[in-house]
C-alpha cells in the first residue's frame, strides 16, 4: 500500500520517518564553490526563448531500490517566434517520451526519428520540433526514470539516514541548489526562470510522514 500526495507549490521534498533532525549538512557552505565556473559558456545555459509558467511533477518513488519514475508537465510560453528546438536541463537516468500540445490541446509534431536528444555532458535535453512553432502557450510532458542518490553529497534527490535506538532509519529528500533540480526532473534549472509548482509523490505507506515547504493538499491511498 502507498499514499499519493499533492503539494500545491514546492521547493524541497522530504519523505521518510523523522524522529531526530537529519545529520549536519556538511556541504552547506560549499555550494558557492564552482557555481560560476560555467556561467559564460552558452553550452551549459538555456536561452530566454521559452518561459515556464507552471510545472507539475509526479514522482513514483521506490526508495529501497533507489529509483523513481517521473512525469513532468511543463506549461510554457514561447517568447521567440519560429522556434525549431526547445532546450531544457536534465540529468535523469533515461527519458522515455516527450510530447507537446498547444493551448488547444493539439499535438505539436516532433522530428522523426529523433524527437529529442540528450547531452549528458552539458546535462541538456533538446526537443526537436518537426517545423517551427508560432508564439504561444504549450504544454510539454516528459516521462522519465530517475535515480535516488545513495551518496547524499551528490545531492539532487537523495537518501539520507539517522539512528533511532541504534537502528538505522532512511529517508529521501532533496537539495536542488544550485543546479541539482535537473536530477529530479527535466526543467529550467537556472534561477532567472520562475514558475508555480504542483508536486505529487507516490511512496510507500511506511515512509510516513511527508514534508514540504507548503501544506499537503490531498493524500490518497493507492
Ligand X SMILES: *[C@@H]1O[C@H](CO)[C@@H](O)[C@H](O)[C@H]1NC(C)=O
- The footprint of ligand X (CB under 6 A) covers 77, 135-137, 165-166
Q: Which is nearer to ligand X, 20 or 32 (CB)?
A: 20
Q: Which is nearer to ligand X, 37 or 168 (CB)?
A: 168
Q: Which is nearer to ligand X, 165 or 168 (CB)?
A: 165
Q: Cβ atoms within 10 A of the Cβ of 13, count?
A: 23
Say how many Å lie between the first and final Cα of the chain, rounded.
6
Q: Cβ atoms within 10 A of the Cβ of 33, count?
A: 9
Q: Which is nearer to ligand X, 37 or 166 (CB)?
A: 166
Task: Say how far residue 88 (Cα) sits from the centre of its chain.
Answer: 11
Q: Cβ atoms within 10 A of the Cβ of 135, count?
A: 11
**Nearest-angstrom CA–CA distance, 110 and 95:** 15
Q: Which is nearer to ligand X, 11 or 164 (CB)?
A: 164
Q: Smallest distance from the beta carbon of 194 to ligand X, in angstroms?
A: 15
Name the DSSP class of 187.
B
Any bridge partners for residue 199, and if so which?
7, 57
**Per the structure block, which three cell numbers stand in for 129?**
520540433
Give residue 155's region: left, alpha or beta (phi > 0; psi -120 to 50). Answer: left
Q: Cβ atoms within 10 A of the Cβ of 121, count?
A: 8
**Nearest-angstrom CA–CA distance, 176 and 70:** 16
Q: Smallest distance from the beta carbon of 164 to ligand X, in angstroms?
A: 9
Q: Smallest distance from the beta carbon of 29 to ligand X, in angstroms?
A: 31
Q: Which is nearer to ligand X, 111 or 137 (CB)?
A: 137
Q: Smallest distance from the beta carbon of 139 to ligand X, in angstroms?
A: 11
Q: Smallest distance from the beta carbon of 103 to ligand X, in angstroms?
A: 7
**How far lies 180's CA from each of 85, 183, 202, in Å?**
23, 6, 21
Q: Smallest distance from the beta carbon of 48 to ligand X, in angstroms?
A: 14
Amino acid at each position: 500500500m502507498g499514499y499519493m500526495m499533492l503539494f500545491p507549490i514546492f521547493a524541497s521534498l522530504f519523505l521518510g520517518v523523522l524522529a531526530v533532525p537529519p545529520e549536519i549538512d556538511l556541504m552547506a557552505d560549499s555550494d558557492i564553490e564552482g557555481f560560476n565556473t560555467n556561467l559564460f559558456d552558452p553550452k551549459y545555459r538555456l536561452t530566454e526563448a521559452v518561459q515556464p509558467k507552471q510545472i507539475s511533477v509526479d514522482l513514483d518513488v521506490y526508495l529501497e531500490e533507489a529509483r523513481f519514475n517521473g512525469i513532468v508537465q511543463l506549461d510554457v510560453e514561447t517568447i521567440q517566434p519560429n522556434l525549431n528546438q526547445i532546450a531544457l536541463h536534465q540529468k535523469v537516468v533515461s527519458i522515455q517520451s516527450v510530447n507537446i500540445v498547444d493551448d488547444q490541446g493539439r499535438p505539436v509534431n516532433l522530428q522523426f526519428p529523433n524527437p529529442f536528444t540528450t547531452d549528458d555532458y552539458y546535462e541538456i535535453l533538446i526537443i526537436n520540433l518537426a517545423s517551427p512553432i508560432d508564439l504561444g502557450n504549450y504544454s510539454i510532458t516528459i516521462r522519465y526514470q530517475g535515480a535516488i542518490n545513495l551518496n547524499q553529497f551528490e545531492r539532487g534527490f537523495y537518501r539520507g539516514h539517522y539512528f533511532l535506538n541504534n537502528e538505522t532509519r532512511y529517508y529521501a529528500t532533496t537539495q536542488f541548489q544550485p543546479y541539482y533540480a535537473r536530477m529530479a526532473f527535466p526543467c529550467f534549472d537556472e534561477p532567472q526562470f520562475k514558475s508555480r509548482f504542483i508536486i505529487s509523490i507516490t511512496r510507500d505507506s511506511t515512509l510516513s510522514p511527508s514534508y514540504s515547504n507548503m501544506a499537503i493538499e490531498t493524500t490518497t491511498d493507492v
